[in-house]
Amino acid sequence: MDMTEKTISSEEIFDGRVIRVKRDTVELPNGNRSTREVVEHPGGVAVIPADAEGNIYMVRQYRYPLGRLCLEIPAGKLNYGEDHRECGLRELSEETGYEPGKFEYLGVFCPSPGFCQELIHIYLATELRQGKIHPDEDEFLEVEKYPLAELIQMIHEGKIQDGKTVIGLLLAKDILRDRG
């Protein structure tokens, strides 16, 4: 069965600094029409910076939409057309000051495919070399170091709820455990 929805028309509703929003009319597989609201986002990259002792460097920052501080892995928005590997290296350096000797791609996920086409790429950074933190001028964060096991426990306790952080840490857990 072909479940593809065909776009009949598209109307831009909002064009902002981070997202664009459009309203599409689609033809459903049964021939009926429906409306889809779509958030367009260039995507992002998240990085798990792990040291030789099994510690992970996290960033704590205020997230305005949630109205609270969040503990997250370093991450940032892609510029349209930007290579996700280069973005990940840039964000890691800006937010933590670290540069990796090894930078491994772990995969990509769709945070909210029901309304947003954003993709987030995840990398594992190891063999870290300390540099100087240099966040964007509108970015205020603190770098904190945690043992991976403690972060996994925080996920299970609901203390870490950020999707990219949960997915990234769970993807990295077995890799880092297997390496000792």
Q: Which helix (H) or strand (E) holds 92?
A: helix 84-96
Among this protein's residues, is 137 annotated catalytic? yes
Q: What is the rounded distance in angstroms from the CA atom of residue 132 to the CA atom of residue 150?
A: 26
User: CA–CA separation, 74 vs 84, rounded Å?
Assistant: 14
Amino acid occupying residue 169: L
> Whats the size of the chain, residue-wise?
180
Catalytic residue among 137, 142, 144, 150: 137
Q: Are 18 and 106 in contact (CB under 8 A)?
A: no
- Catalytic residue annotation: 137
